Amino acid sequence: MGYTISEKILLAHTGKKDIKQGEFIEAKVDLALGNDITAPLAIEEFKKSGFKKVFNKNKIVLVPDHFAPAKDLKSANQCKILADFAREQAIKNYFEVGCMGIEHVLLPEKGLVSPGDLAIGADSHTCTYGALGAFATGVGSTDLGRAFIDGKCWFKVPATIKFIYKGKLKKWLSGKDLILYTIGKIGVDGALYKAMEFSGSVIRRLSMDDRFAMSNMAIEAGAVTGIIEPDEITLDYIREVHSSQSTVHRRKQKPWTVDRGRWTDLKSDKDCHYDKIYEWDVSDLEPQVACPHLPSNTKPVSSLKDIVLDQVVIGSCTNGRISDLRISAKILKGNKIKPGIRLIVIPATQKIYLEAVKEGLAEIFVKAGAVFSTPTCGPCLGGHLGILTEGERCLATTNRNFIGRMGHPQSEVYLSSPAVAAASAITGRITHPEEL
Amino acid sequence: MIIKGIVHKFGNNINTDDIIAAKYLVTTDEKELGKHCMENIAPGFASKVNKGDIIVAQENFGCGSSREHAPRALKGCGISAVIAKSFAGIFFRNAINIGLPFLALKDVDEITEGDSLEIDLSSGIIKNLTKNQTYKVEAFPQFLQDIVVCGGLMNYVKQKKEK
């Protein structure tokens, strides 16, 4: 029997000849990531274990992005632990405030992840890099501390669920709508410890930014990763990243694969085993919104017209990319947000920030009455820069709407695409962009 | 190893934001984290827990964020084991790695708040002392048992290196 793309990548990172679903393996990772919340604990474990040197200073990435720029004294201490460790171990891929961005947008942008890579990160949204055809998954701090020692991580080889999206997406639809729809269909444990494989003609036409948004939320269905077979769109993205100035941090690339094929050969075998296959025609799909307090509680936008808002957030590792800002600005241009509403726009990286300034998007946001923030995870996880108080309601392009996620336990978070978020900031209630 | 404690029951999809809210993730101290365990969904929970108590929940326990602070907060507030119908992937690995005992049991509906349980981790037998019932869970696969026996992932790796 053949292998899925996920199995192929895992197999290539073990010394084994064969690999089976459900089997426990130890594999060598190409990349180990930590942030200002998870890395301090990993560093503590690493030091406690008595090891002095990390396995490979070029394969570790540290990004203070969650509570950075440091929101308070304790956060400043956590950020300093990363900076000190990076200096001590000569880790070059440490991104200080000013170079920093939201990790899962930053790493692909810096060329740090390639198709066929096995990447772990002590952050659940590490699955984002699945969009590049990498096997990428979130792990814990101790996993990261262990990877610091020997570059290895244990895995249970996941079964794969294949998702085939057919038809043609309507105007205003995005990768975010597809993934919200998918989670709504299968539930927050619908892919529990499975790999989700996104495919079909709709995926093949999606931009990388939209693919990242989809893979990003695979964890919200319980999946270990959300992977997309690389194609010309992936390779164009990689080529652009590698030819740009921003790749000083990138690792030496090694092209895929087990049989030394090319990245575009990195596909699931025809005779591989899928645990399940979902096939949906999404031609009639409406923009989707996840209602409190689960990402699976999704409804079409038109059914939520009466939901009035206090705050709108556009940003995060799901939707803080340049195309997200472009579509938001397109909708907001020449408009003012509804008085009394707060709109917070957070570009995910410095590069995106600068592009938004150069393209005039920042000006559109500010003129519309929004705040335009420095890159950070910020309010997404209730960190800073837009915390909700009791009874407040927010529509956000982020990825989780759990109880108290953005602040007070009696506040509410709805999740949507940037287009719906921007339109809703203008009307002050959940709105389909076509209504404007 | 035998664990004995009183049951605190929870529902489906208890996520790591529920277990420990992000605003407290500015420390790695288990005791400090433990003080705020389950605060958003069960205010005052930490003060109700006696050392050794057991959480019994439904499906997908520990979903959401990868924060290892969640199993550490549970340990820090005195929870000795978690029993649930199913566990989220990253929580599962975190619990293995740091040695928080957890058991996947389909019969959790038989167990009610306040029941007294006795868990024999080596045999996977759970005795409900209040209801006079016995449940059995499957043993971990060998690989995971090896980590557990070593007392967590870091010790496992150290021992492997020393060999």
Give the pLDDT confidence of A411-433 residue by residue, as tens digits.
999 999 999 999 999 999 999 99
| Contact state of A49 with B154 under an 8 Å Cβ cutoff | yes
* Rounded Cα gap, residues B131 and B135, in angstroms: 11
Q: Residue A311: enclosing H or E segment and its boundaries?
A: strand A311-314
Q: Where are the domains of chain A?
A: 5-280, 289-435
If you measure CA to CA, which chain A residue comes closest to B16? A402
Class of domain A5-280: alpha beta
- Quote the minimal CA–CA distance from B44 to chain A in Å: 14
DSSP state of A435: G
* Rounded Cα gap, residues A323 and A334, in angstroms: 19
Among A257-261, A306-310, B43-47, B149-153, the least confident range: A257-261
Kindly tell me if the per-residue pLDDT of A389 is higher than 80: yes
For range B4-28, the mean pLDDT: 97
Among A113-117, A320-324, A334-338, B8-12, the least confident range: A113-117
Residues 6+ apart with CB under 8 A from B140: B148
Sign of CA dihedral A408, A412, A414, A419: negative
If you measure CA to CA, which chain A residue comes closest to B87? A192
pLDDT of residue A257: 46
Interface mutation target, options B10, B59, B66, chain A, most CBs of A under 10 Å: B66
A309 at interface of B, judged by CB pairs closer than 8 A: no
A138 at interface of B, judged by CB pairs closer than 8 A: yes
Q: Where are the domains of chain B?
A: 2-162
What residues of B are in contact with residue A294 (Cβ under 8 Å)? 13
DSSP state of B20: S
A400 at interface of B, judged by CB pairs closer than 8 A: yes
pLDDT confidence band for B122 (50 / 70 / 90): confident
Residues 6+ apart with CB under 8 A from A144: A32, A33, A34, A38, A39, A42, A120, A121, A122
Q: For B84-114, how does the pLDDT look when each residue is reduced to its tens digit (9 = 90+)?
A: 999 999 999 999 999 999 999 999 999 999 9
Q: How large a percentage of chain B has pLDDT more than 70?
A: 100
What residues of B are in contact with residue A219 (Cβ under 8 Å)? 64, 90
The pair of three-digit structure tokens given for residue A126, joined into one six-digit string: 């590490």
pLDDT confidence band for A254 (50 / 70 / 90): low
If you measure CA to CA, which chain B residue comes closest to A48? B154
A77 at interface of B, judged by CB pairs closer than 8 A: yes
* Closest Cβ–Cβ partner in B15, B23, B66 for A122: B66
A295 at interface of B, judged by CB pairs closer than 8 A: no
* Rounded Cα gap, residues B134 and B125, in angstroms: 7
Helix ranges restricted to H, A13-109: 39-48, 73-88, 103-109
Kindly tell me if the per-residue pLDDT of A394 is higher than 90: yes
Kindly tell me if the per-residue pLDDT of A253 is higher than 80: no
Q: How large a percentage of chain A has pLDDT more than 70?
A: 96
| Contact state of A48 with B154 under an 8 Å Cβ cutoff | yes
Model pTM score? 0.97
A52 at interface of B, judged by CB pairs closer than 8 A: no
Phi, psi for residue A31 in degrees, rounded to 5: -155, 135
Largest Cα–Cα separation, chain A: 63
HSE (CB half, 13 Å, CA atoms) of A197? 26
For range B6-18, the mean pLDDT: 98
pLDDT confidence band for A255 (50 / 70 / 90): low
Fold of the domain built from segment(s) B2-162 = Aconitase; domain 4 (3.20.19)
* Closest Cβ–Cβ partner in B25, B90, B154 for A146: B154
If you measure CA to CA, which chain A residue comes closest to B99? A142
| Average pLDDT value for chain B | 96
pLDDT of residue A264: 72
If you measure CA to CA, which chain A residue comes closest to B144? A24
Q: For A113-133, how does the pLDDT look when each residue is reduced to its tens digit (9 = 90+)?
A: 999 999 999 999 999 999 999
For range A362-381, the mean pLDDT: 98
Residues 6+ apart with CB under 8 A from A411: A388, A389, A390, A391, A392, A393, A394, A404
The interface predicted TM-score (ipTM) is 0.97
| Contact state of B41 with A123 under an 8 Å Cβ cutoff | no
pLDDT of residue A242: 82
| Contact state of A142 with B98 under an 8 Å Cβ cutoff | yes
Pick among 3.30.499.10, 3.40.50.360, 3.10.310.40, 3.30.70.270: CATH of A289-435:
3.30.499.10
Please indicate whether residue B8 or residue A264 has the higher confidence score (pLDDT): B8
- DSSP per residue over A149-212, as a string? HHSEEEEEPPEEEEEEEES-PPTT--HHHHHHHHHHHH-TTTTTTEEEEEESHHHHHS-HHHHH
* Rounded Cα gap, residues A7 and A28, in angstroms: 14
Token look-up 């500010």 returns A366
